[in-house]
A and B are shown apart, each in its own frame.
Chain A
Amino acid sequence: MSAGHSTLTTLGAGPAKSAAPPAALPTAAASVAAVLATVALTATAAASVSRVLPGSGPTVAAGAVVVAAAVLTLLRPALRAVRSARRAATAWSEQRRTDARRAASEAREDAWTALGWCLAALVLLGAVWFLCTNDRAVQRTFFDGQVIGISLKETASAFGTNLFIAVVAQVLILAWGLALALARMAPGRAGRPLRLLATTYIDGFRAVPAIIIIYLIGFGLPLAEVPFLSSLSPVWFAILALTLTYGAYVAEVFRAGIESVPPGQTAAARSLGLSQSATLRHVVLPQATRRVVPPLLNDFISLQKDTALVNVIGTIDAFNQSKIFASNHFNLSAVTVVAGLFILITIPQARLVDRLVAREQRRGKGA
């Protein structure tokens, strides 16, 4: 420590010299090249598509023109990027540092915008190519309009079974998951056996694949000849199996939610004379449930898709129904229908989860 300097501050050698901005010209040039290459690829793809689809030349050409025109609009930001990059270089050589950095930053943003949209166009072209390659093998097998038309009605009505299983299971899972979570958090020495049981259950059912639980319940329960339970229909076996499996996941979601409520909330409620159960009911659970809705919905989306697993015990759900069509027509387009149905119900829920998470974050900021 040299004399005269305070012990708390270090005096530097003046402001740092600013370095030259990273060169933007290569990126800008690359974006122009990418735009031109994408346009060329669009033309090539259009040519090969019209070869495998004889008689639909005008439609294919129109589509290609639309894509190519859309890509060509990217030339504007790409060329602007080149101009900005040049401007940046000039400004730097004239010692106008701020202007140089600003122009270089503009060039980079324009270039990356053009590159990004080129990537999107290339993914689209790739998908078209995949459908048409090998004399439209993929398109014929999975997107045969005729087979889709024939199978649509019955597959969609069999999808009702998937929805029924999902809805009933979700209701049961909420109750079972909460019960498991509370058991896992049972307090004190007396709560230990309960905690142990719940922990073992949760670990076990999260470890075993859902399809095996469905198999074991579907084929095991009838053999066991348990009164009432063994005489249930396969649909109810499926509901039971999925409830047992997903109850374990949801228990952990609930537990995380309950533990995320600050301990001060419990202390305040107890200090007011509320009993442990009243505190849980009126103070802890209302706050916990709000926080667990997004992860809970995620688990439910996953559960809805797993209803397709029940075909292993002979339940006629949408997937099983589509497999019947598949073997009758030697064509998998009916399976595509099932995929479409799942997409139809799942994507809105996924968007809903996003909105709920965003809302929860706004609330978290104390807005």
Chain B
Amino acid sequence: MPFIEIDAVHKSYGDTEVLRGIDLSVEQHQVVTLIGASGSGKSTLLRCVNGLEDISAGEIRVGGEVASGRGTDVNRLRRDVGMVFQHFNLFPHMNVVRNVALAPMRVAGVPRAEAEERARTLLARVGLADKADRMPDQLSGGQQQRVAIVRALATQPRALLLDEITSALDPELVAEVLAIVRELAADGMTMLLATHEMGFAREVSHKVCFLHQGVLLEEGPPEQIFGDPRQERTRAFLRRIVEAGRL
């Protein structure tokens, strides 16, 4: 049974329809990548899965339970599904440890000492043990994004949503963030990610989905999408990526 099921989802902001009937499923331990131009609906789709946006029609199920529409227990849903954002969104008034320990303390009720202890262990695992007591603005972008990933993992989610997590980084900092995602994929973490890093998408994904103007035009294994795309729009998109030297 798929862990995340997206079923005929529509989403509009006013008169603009951003998602126009998306069907997509993510199996457990699978990595699914959304590609497509800016404005194609990748981020909106991820935010809908996390309950940050209400959907206009359709249904989203997570772990077999309905996770959209009225009366959804979003706080419960978000414990199962963590999210990492393009701009990190670390809390600037807390040091790194407190950033990571906040949700375990305030949501799961873990005592502070224990939550911070666990936060330090997690930070050490991504090579940030020495940054634990720094404030977020003392860290590089890559380090901040690694902290954001650790923060999302601290609540022990069963799946992660990654929304263009390397798009705001200087090129030389991208690798350190992708290394962690690669490791999570190897550990069997279920992930749905939107990215412009095509090489990475090709390497790490089980399934790649091409979104165009709110419609899922084509999906398939990475070798097929990148090697032999069926849709003319997908071919045009990938051609532009190659022209920009990004694939």
**Interchain nearest-CB distance for A258 vs B (Å):** 14
Bound Cα distance A271, B90 (Å)? 12
**Interchain nearest-CB distance for B218 vs A (Å):** 29
Total residues of chain B contacting the partner, CB 8 A: 27
Q: Of A267, A275, A366, which contacts B85 at CB under 8 A?
A: A267
Binds B, one of A173-181, A223-231, A281-289, A324-332: A281-289
Cβ of B106 within 8 Å of any chain A Cβ, yes or no, is: yes
Bound Cα distance A268, B88 (Å)? 8
Bound Cα distance A267, B82 (Å)? 12
Q: Does the CB pair B89–A273 fall under 8 Å?
A: no
Q: Does the CB pair A273–B75 fall under 8 Å?
A: yes
Cβ of A192 within 8 Å of any chain B Cβ, yes or no, is: no
Known: A264-B85, A264-B87, A267-B85. A366 touches B137 (CB 8 A): yes
Bound Cα distance A274, B104 (Å)? 10
Known: A272-B82, A272-B152, A273-B107. A267 touches B137 (CB 8 A): no
Bound Cα distance A255, B151 (Å)? 29
Q: Name the A residues within 8 Å of B148 (CB-CB).
A: 268
Q: Of A269, A272, A287, which contacts B92 at CB under 8 A?
A: A287
Q: Name the A residues within 8 Å of B151 (CB-CB).
A: 272
Q: Name the B residues within 8 Å of A273 (CB-CB).
A: 75-76, 78-79, 103, 107, 155
**Interchain nearest-CB distance for A359 vs B (Å):** 14
Cβ contacts A106-145/B at 8 Å (1 or 0 each): 0000000000000000000000000000000000000000
Cβ of B200 within 8 Å of any chain A Cβ, yes or no, is: no
Cβ of A153 within 8 Å of any chain B Cβ, yes or no, is: no
Interface residues of A in 240-272 (CB under 8 A from B): 262, 264-265, 267-272
Cβ of B102 within 8 Å of any chain A Cβ, yes or no, is: yes
Q: Name the B residues within 8 Å of A268 (CB-CB).
A: 83, 85, 89-91, 148
**Interchain nearest-CB distance for B227 vs A (Å):** 35
Bound Cα distance A283, B89 (Å)? 11
Interface residues of B in 88-146 (CB under 8 A from A): 89-93, 102-103, 106-107, 137
Cβ contacts B44-61/A at 8 Å (1 or 0 each): 000100111000000000
Give the one of A269, A271, A287, A366 with max B CB within 10 A: A271
Q: Of B52, B93, B103, B106, which contacts A267 at CB under 8 A?
A: B52
**Interchain nearest-CB distance for B36 vs A (Å):** 21
Cβ of B242 within 8 Å of any chain A Cβ, yes or no, is: no
Known: A270-B74, A271-B52, A272-B82. A264 touches B106 (CB 8 A): no
Cβ of A278 within 8 Å of any chain B Cβ, yes or no, is: yes
Q: Residue of B at shortest CB range from A270?
A: B52
Q: Name the A residues within 8 Å of B93 (CB-CB).
A: 286-287, 290
Bound Cα distance A282, B98 (Å)? 11
**Interchain nearest-CB distance for B146 vs A (Å):** 15
Interface residues of B in 17-51 (CB under 8 A from A): 47, 50-51
Q: Name the A residues within 8 Å of B52 (CB-CB).
A: 267, 270-271
Q: Does the CB pair B106–A282 fall under 8 Å?
A: yes
Q: Of A265, A270, A278, A290, which contacts B91 at CB under 8 A?
A: A265
**Interchain nearest-CB distance for A360 vs B (Å):** 13
Bound Cα distance A287, B94 (Å)? 10
**Interchain nearest-CB distance for B105 vs A (Å):** 9
Bound Cα distance A267, B87 (Å)? 11
Bound Cα distance A273, B74 (Å)? 7
**Interchain nearest-CB distance for A172 vs B (Å):** 26
Q: Does the CB pair A272–B155 fall under 8 Å?
A: yes
Q: Does the CB pair B89–A270 fall under 8 Å?
A: no
**Interchain nearest-CB distance for B47 vs A (Å):** 8
Q: Of B47, B91, B152, which contacts A283 at CB under 8 A?
A: B91
Q: Does the CB pair A272–B103 fall under 8 Å?
A: yes
Interface residues of A in 290-344 (CB under 8 A from B): 290
Q: Of A271, A274, A283, A286, which contacts B50 at CB under 8 A?
A: A271
Bound Cα distance A283, B92 (Å)? 9
Bound Cα distance A282, B89 (Å)? 14
Known: A272-B82, A273-B107. A267 touches B75 (CB 8 A): no
Q: Name the A residues within 8 Å of B90 (CB-CB).
A: 268
Given A268-B90, A272-B152, A366-B137, output 11 extra A-B contacts at Cβ < 8 Å. A268-B89, A268-B148, A271-B78, A272-B103, A272-B151, A274-B102, A274-B107, A282-B106, A283-B91, A286-B93, A290-B93
List 12 A–B pairs whose Cβ atoms lie within 8 Å, in order of A's numbering: A267-B47, A268-B91, A270-B51, A271-B78, A271-B152, A273-B78, A273-B107, A274-B75, A275-B75, A278-B107, A282-B102, A287-B91
Where the two chains meet, the residues of B that have a C-beta atom closer than 8 Å to any C-beta of A are: 47, 50-52, 74-76, 78-79, 82-83, 85, 87, 89-93, 102-103, 106-107, 137, 148, 151-152, 155
Q: Lowest 10 A-B CB distances belong to which pairs?
A: A268-B89, A272-B103, A271-B83, A264-B89, A273-B78, A273-B107, A273-B79, A273-B75, A286-B93, A278-B106
